[in-house]
A and B are shown apart, each in its own frame.
Chain A
């Protein structure tokens, strides 16, 4: 029966997943045994005591205190075991070790920003050292989100007015998917990210070079890469398709009508403003839902994005 739990659960890639899975398996197996018992009883009784004639006389068995107590107390003991087990597992999940490596997470509709201690910000890619406790301190910029890594069995809501946190420690380097599990609107199901667990060495190298890695790329290629990395393409297409926001195709230097009727040319200043203060001016027919990239994109990165947009005529 343990095979069933193994089939049902994703691979366990964190140190705490073991407890969760063990409890899952215990409840699963106990439930299956009891369910089998109840099902057999239903089928057996239905057959054995089927009505044979309309004058069947049934015995008067109105109650039996011993039985009643038995089937109250045994489940009670079982659920108390499950409760204590679940609670101790939960406390482990809540209490991050003191030496945990901290990453700050900011959730925005509909992307994840990861802030590292050296000031570097990655979008929709969380890089962490493997085999070492990592603590995420999280807040949201707009509505509720929830940070969920199935492989690690961790989940925590992300709120706009408070910091919440969770921690995990991976068993080995590898990749896992991150989902948003608190419904947050149109692109809720696209608010996914990936967590990369590197060995300590690789992680340190990555952290040092990440910030400057793209500096010497060709501006157009760099812009395209930034569009993907910052999840701009969740809401803006490059081929004319209408998503949540206006398409990038033909955007450069076009005349655009704003919600308040103003006509604006999509020049460098307009695009810069749209990235840093997106809700200052809204294109007619769209909702003011884009989060600001102030602080997560440098000037040279914005220039690269503009260079890329110029190519999408």
Chain B
């Protein structure tokens, strides 16, 4: 703390509160029953309900992916026809993106962890938080209605004029996504306000966990981008319903304008998906290296930089769409600028590991897998950002492989790292470390088998969204399909050991990883209202050179008013004998 701030800081008396091990009462067993769960305003339970929902959608999306890969075993029809294939890839994309990737880290893990990392009892608007979950459910219902009334065969991008003319039930699907958008917006509103207003005493901006910085950047993108998606799908729905002609060339409109609007959301949406993953990786690498994070501000600010620049690059999805060369040039240039903050993060994480005390537990293993796969995803992104090369690679399997490396190799691996990292805090149980690691390795192998051949196929000119393909690609496709089955097996294994952990797992200690972060200073599972004593933060969350006891602090005089994140100095310290 700079000396100039000294006179602004508030003096508090602190006491040390060691977390209770294996508490009898916690958030999972107080307020029991289905109804209590469905009407809960507790962020932790809402987070778990989201977790269950996204797991369900990930399962559906995954099964659809396996159907696609199975169909692609042979160059012609294998077992489903072209119409079904088109519907399946549309649903796979829409479900994975809108129902799994976008809410996965912010709404599921984020909801659970955000107040715990900020040292507050709940998010700023608990009822709106619950509402956002139900809005998500309603959006999902509309999507299911659309599946049963003819599905959608437009691809998840809903490009006009095809989406305006196809006979399938685009209207229901767009309505579902419109509704879903509000769920995402409300989560963003909640998180921004909570991070600003409800930080614990002493939790100044320079002590904010990097996961919070990442979620903060994510929420800003959600709030700024999602409304444009809402208006775009609304206009698309009106296009079908009334034929308003803004996007439909047959009525005088412009299909490229639709693409601008769509990607103004959907490109930043890529960052909605990946930036919170960065946050998790920062937490995990620091914890398991037991070392202060390298370049705190570089990582924190690069999240914001990615969020901001990420808004200006949407046109790189449209290099061949018929937009002006000027726009192509600007978009290509800005695209490369996003690469810089992303690279900075990778190097900072590596530097954090340098001279650390690295414990290769499952979350750390996933973080390492993330580093490797996401780096490949990033480099192939550079390839696709280069205008001349993108002309060749656009809409081929190269793009498919690229975004699966970023989304699955990056985002899903980060999500799994986070899930394994916070699992003990969520359920108070440990999972089988051996099987978890084996699964991670199987997943890694299956993933690369699936998507590496797709880079080769794509550069050789295999277009995406193809039901039939020319014979020369069959070998690659079959290899890829076998890889996808291995991924499937890995997720089944994961499901098995997670279920085992839930019902028969060993009880988890409050702080199994020896982390300094705030969420590990409460018992596992977390208490009903998170903190029985208002915590006081005097060190950063990665200050591993400070003694553990100084992280387990609470205000001695209970409930004296404080403003968010107000700087504090310790006046008197009492060690509590619990």
Binding site for B on A (CB under 8 A): 7-10, 19-20, 23-24, 27-28, 31, 34-35, 38-39, 41-42, 45-46, 49-52, 54, 56-64, 67-68, 71-72, 75-76, 79-80, 82-83, 85-94, 142-144, 146, 148, 150-151, 153-157, 159-162, 164, 177, 179-190, 192, 287
Contact = CB atoms under 8 A, between A and B. Distances in A.
A183 B395 CA distance: 9
Interface residues of B, number: 92
Interface string B153-182: 111000101100111000000000000000
A76 to B, nearest CB: 6
Contacts of B136: none
A27 B378 CA distance: 12
Nearest to B455: A8
Given A58-B355, A58-B356, A186-B83, A146 B350 contact: no
Contacts of A188: 86, 465-467
A68 B350 contact: no
Given A58-B545, A150-B392, A189-B468, 5 more contacts: A35-B379, A54-B514, A59-B355, A189-B467, A189-B469
B41 interface: no
A38 B372 contact: yes
B339 A79 contact: yes
Interface-centre pick from A8, A57, A59, A157 (highest chain B CB count, 10 A): A157
A79 B382 contact: yes
Interface of B is mostly: helix
B387 A42 contact: no
Contacts of A24: 383, 389, 392, 459
Interface string B384-395: 011111111011
A80 B382 CA distance: 11
24 contacts: A8-B455, A10-B461, A23-B388, A34-B379, A38-B350, A45-B353, A45-B356, A58-B356, A58-B357, A61-B292, A61-B354, A63-B294, A64-B294, A68-B344, A71-B347, A79-B336, A82-B385, A86-B385, A87-B332, A94-B325, A179-B463, A183-B465, A186-B82, A287-B167
Contact of A86 (B360, B372, B386, B396): B386
A58 B351 CA distance: 13
Cβ-closest 3 pairs across A and B = A150-B461, A89-B388, A86-B386
B463 A148 contact: yes
Interface string B449-479: 0000001100111011111111000000000
Interface in B374-417: 375-376, 379-380, 382-383, 385-392, 394-396
B357 A187 contact: no
B320 interface: yes
Given A63-B296, A144-B162, A93 B382 contact: no
Given A87-B329, A154-B391, A27 B379 contact: yes
Contacts of A182: 159, 395
Interface of B: 82-83, 86, 153-155, 159, 161-162, 165-167, 249-250, 252-256, 289-298, 320-322, 325, 328-329, 332-333, 336-337, 339-340, 343-344, 346-348, 350-351, 353-360, 368, 371-372, 375-376, 379-380, 382-383, 385-392, 394-396, 455-456, 459-461, 463-470, 514, 544-545
A57 B357 CA distance: 8
Given A9-B459, A61-B292, A49 B392 contact: no
Nearest to B459: A8
A108 B503 CA distance: 58
A61 B545 CA distance: 10
Interface-centre pick from B298, B339, B392 (highest chain A CB count, 10 A): B392
Contacts of B325: 90-91, 94
Given A27-B379, A46-B353, A155-B395, A58 B292 contact: yes
B392 A75 contact: no
Nearest to A80: B336
A62 B207 CA distance: 13
A164 B318 CA distance: 14
Contacts of A87: 329, 332-333, 387-388
Given A71-B344, A89-B388, A179-B461, A185 B383 contact: no
Contact of B460 (A49, A150, A155, A159): A150
Contacts of B514: 54
A266 to B, nearest CB: 24
B211 to A, nearest CB: 18
Contact of A42 (B256, B294, B368): B368
Nearest to A244: B82
Interface-centre pick from A39, A85, A179 (highest chain B CB count, 10 A): A179
B296 A50 contact: no
A51 B289 CA distance: 8
Contact of A27 (B295, B298, B337, B389): B389
A86 B391 CA distance: 10
Contact of B162 (A38, A162, A183): A183
B346 to A, nearest CB: 7
A189 B82 contact: yes
A161 B385 contact: no
Contacts of B254: 161
A31 B368 CA distance: 18
Contact of A144 (B161, B351, B464): B161
Contact of A7 (B162, B329, B379, B456): B456
Given A42-B368, A179-B463, A157 B322 contact: yes
A282 B266 CA distance: 38
B339 A9 contact: no
A146 B379 contact: no
Contacts of B86: 183, 185-186, 188
B295 A68 contact: yes
B155 A183 contact: yes
Nearest to B461: A150
A60 B387 contact: no
B240 to A, nearest CB: 14
Contacts of A181: 394-396, 463-464
Nearest to B376: A35
Contact of A58 (B162, B339, B456, B544): B544
A209 B185 CA distance: 64
